[in-house]
Structure 1
Amino acid sequence: MFNRTIARKYTLRREIGRGGMGVIWEAFDQALRRPVALKVMTPEHVTSDSARRRFEREATAIARLRNEHIVQIHDYGIDEDCPYIVMELLEGEDLEHRLARERQLSPSATLALLRQIAAGLQAASSAGIVHRDLKPANVFMARKEPGECVKLLDFGVVWTLFEGSDEAQQSSFGKAIGTPAYMSPEQVRAVAPDHLSDLWSLGVIAYRALTGRPPFVARGVGELLISICTDPFPPPSSLVPALPPGFDGFFARALAKDPAQRFQSAREFVAAFAAVVEVSSGPTKILVVEDEPDVALMMRLQFRQKIRDGVYEFIFADNGEAALHELRRHPDIDVILTDIKMPVMDGLTFLGRVPEVNPFAKTVMMSAYGDMANIRCAMNQGAFDFLLKPIHCADLEATIDKTIKHVAELRRNARSDEENKILRQFTSAALVERIREMGPAIALASEAVMATVAFIDIFQFTRVTKERPPGEAMRLLRANFEVIVPELMAKGGVVDKFLGDAVMAVFQGPEHLSRALSACVIVRAQMAAVARRAGESSPYAQGICVGLSTGQVLSGSIGSQAYGRLDYTVLGEAVNAAAHLARAAVPGEILVDAPVREAAQALFDFEEVGARSLLPGAPPVDVFNVVRRGPAALLADCEPTVRIPTTATMP
């Protein structure tokens, strides 16, 4: 294709790379007399309608993003039935080549890199765009004046959140899209992606940059997928002892299996990383934002002894914009003293920007007595306190001391929250919610409620426990539950308990039956998809057997209160029925009884399985397998209203 002219204006000069669906060429734009990068779809993809739609979606999605850290699109078109994308031509190298050459980067170099990647991700996230294939090969360090500029490349598998999903996007459901080593657990399970998946990939990139290896390493793809969903990763300090100790906690959050436990934005991710890089046991940092130079002199004189003793360190800025820059440079700032009326960016605007850079820092507003309207506005926006000008030294010292103590308490509470998260992993979620809503004493009370109960059993997993070492067998069982539990919770189910190799989930509240059925159908599909990807030797290949029943259950605490050994659970016919149905099911079946089929037959498709004996010696009863969600359920976004029977009829 050398010297071929595309669209009568782009002359191909040399091949410079290959992406997921296309070949990238250096080309010359004859109209504007400039070099460009031109991506041409490969012949094997040209005949695919879905590939062509993805290619076009890549062009239109990136073209909307006017951000210096995302490669810019100049043109898109079709030449001789072959789609092409014209982009800015970059000179430099991608991060994959740099890491292969240098192996590791310093924390400060990694921070500089992450700041720019995060800026691109934040722009994409704000536009409702998920990259889905963030990896070092798609992070390009372009040579610019005066230094390097990081650019995100290859949005070929981009996902758009805010627009109506087209057929090409819908067809990707159930498919793991991305590069395995950088895929999040939810990508492994092939659920609809969001920006938190990109932040997971960013965490993997940061981990590899600091340690020289990815956090999850395995012999094959199937084993790697299990490890991503199930295994802990080596703390960075175990690989590079010289790293600041705070990185272990940082990556515990950045690579949390549960998306809700991760950093929730690229800004928060980078701010936390910067805090680890720059935080020390040094002085308390106080940022003073004031355009009057006399204030800086007054602060230095008033606190000269504490500055000399290393108790306080003052940082000064003359407007809100400069102050934001200092906040990013010093993420361990605890106290901010800011004027309201300043040039460039006023104090009220700055106040609203502080939490996105540093969620712990507290702001004290400084203003004249006659400016009470602005002071009230500042307090309503979250200012911690205010000082009236002219500032009295005693009042200033007391306010700073009070603010420092408050921030220290916030940081202690944050650490306690992390500890509580660990404890909650070993406590009934239903009990935690009940105590939080109603208090410890009321949580011990019992009540009768309408609910749907689902038992999801890993088929013949007992055989695995006999064939594998204990630690490996438990790891493989957890690998299954890591796929099952998120979908149960996503539909409002509460994991009541794990009974050996089965999980019992309870759905209460509006439309509990339809939500439970939808969750089980999705879990079955995801388990089958993961089993296909991981291979026949993976733990997912065992298959799942599901039983589901609905009706009135008794909810409450059981056990010995006198000896402090209690559990919170549900009891009743529906519980027994679901357990028996799961026991009677074969892999891939979601068995229900006649009342469930009757209540949900307008929204789900069922097939009659026939009569099965649910208990030894008991007469067989007719049971039904849930085949799929019907058109009405899909139209109702899988949360339809169904008529719930008042009792469950199961021997």
Structure 2
Amino acid sequence: MSERQTIGGRYVLERKLAGGGMGTIWVALDPKLQRRVAVKLMASHAAPAPLSRQQFEWEAQAIARLQNPHVIQVHDCDLSGDTPYIVMELLEGEDLEALLNRRGRLSLAMVERLLTQSTRALTAAHAAGVIHRDLKPANLFLARTASGELVKVLDFGLALLMSGGAAKPHPEEGMAGTPRYMSPEQLRGIEPRLDHRCDLWALAVVAYRALTGQHPFPLESLRQMRLGNAPPPAPAPSSLVPELGAEMDAFFARALDPDPARRFQSAHELASAFTSRVEAGRPSRPAKILVVDDEPDVVVLMEQSFRKQIRRSVYEFLFAADGEEALEQLRQHPDTQVVLCDINMPRMDGLTFLSRIGEVTSLTRVVIVSAYGDMNNIRTAMNRGAYDFITKPIDFPDLEATLVKTLKHVRELRSTVRSTEENGLLRMFVPGGVLERLPPLLQGSDALAGERVEGTVVFIDVDAFTPVFHQEAPAESLRRLNANFEAIVPELLSRGGTVDKFVGDAVMTVFRGPGHVDRAMEACLSIRRQLGTLADRGGEHAPYAHGVCIGLDSGDLVSGSVGAKASGRLDFTVLGDVVNTAARLAALASRGQVLVSARARERSREPFEYTPLGEQLVPGVGTPMELFALVRREGDSRVAPDEPTPFVASEPPEEPGTPGLAALPSR
């Protein structure tokens, strides 16, 4: 195939990246979006075969189930033409196979990072019913991104798609996978009994090879497993790399057990066990400092000047002669805390290194140490992220004081990041209002006893979803509902809302603080606009085709805990007429409509356009309420893709269900 050929009438092939038996991967330009993508083309000899096309389609479907930063993403595909193709994101970096071929083996810290990120991809895949079946170093890509190096799982061409707890028949006939990384049950070809634990076996083999430079099982052992015989245990990693220790031996003894029931049962469990054993194997770690300088005597100078601290394991020094070598050292040692970097060096100077370090790590701080102490260099270094600047000749007491200060900053930064990640999991299951009050609660305070606050409550109901719930499989209906929430919730949070609870197919959010009414209205308009765009793009079968019905009210609320404390069941919420009114307005709204009470409109300080609906009888409210339909912000020409018909009620609608706190009427 010649270069500059256009595929699908859109993608201009520029150069070939890789090739194999089933096809080739090209770098291509998408002129419409002015971006470069990776295009996977089916080989011409395979294109006529229905089985090959089916396998190509299978790969696209498997990736399309996943939306995870650690899984390569598919942008487009066409399997009907003479040359079937899949369009994917173009990654910069290298795969783990290339890295291992170059280095032989990797540090424990780097393998821990690889394992942690890979298991995030597997957790998402297994939750979506996707079993990869071909995890190996060549399918783990170390992508360079703006936020640092990111592991991406590639090539889902052999993936199994689970349905109803069983694997759907795969178009690939016979035993599928790469034998060196296949679990015993996969080698035996017992596909009906195959489950996600075969991926965990493969990832453990990858980790074993990365740490030791060797495969855990010789070819003869693979043949024995193929015949159904139990292989001899893999050599203990510490027998090959003594510093790995007994903790790593125990991890791999379980991870590579021939019996799936005795292995780790989930990707999260495997990653947690690995991390805990890494921590147990290094009770005290010196601070790791990378010195980047091309002067030949710098190694001796640093080791002599800090010999006492090195002997007491306070510091561990690494060395690089220029910026390129320094980036490689940071990839190998991601736990490096501080970099001492010269400016004038060959190949890559210190200022260029400062602009590139973000590709590898965002949690390491750079101190420039240079004889070039003019203000231009200092300003450039600081603008590119240097933490501090020291001039040569080095005053070593001053250097150590700078190291102590910088290391303290890095430890606090990394502790904050760890806490943020842990709190991220907590926030998935605990309302934000509770988390805000945790510190006084831990000290024995009655912070959840109750308080009167002013705020705005928004109910967003996915329209007409309940009938769909009874027609679809549970997993599919939940997937469609959660797809809407994944689009809705970020818009609420970005404008300062607190998601109080999910009630069936609706979400209740509370806005408090300055401008709470206006922020709530902005969020509602943005959600309606975004879901309309997604629905237009995805068509009538998209999860977003349901649309949303929104109710908004503002006023005084009671905030506090409700439940049975003696039974250990409490919930933190807000109470009052505002909550009930917002819920009832959402139930009355048409698809795409935002119903707003008169008191909420009066509290708004920003200019919005409304459609007056007059006084209406609202279920559960004794007297008619003046209602408005929120249309847009004044001056904004954008209209919701499916602009709703204003709600008009000539008589009170029948009140469905039982009204009350956070109880949404059924549709």
Q: Normalising by structure 1, report the TM-score.
A: 0.49
Q: TM-score, normalised by structure 2?
A: 0.48
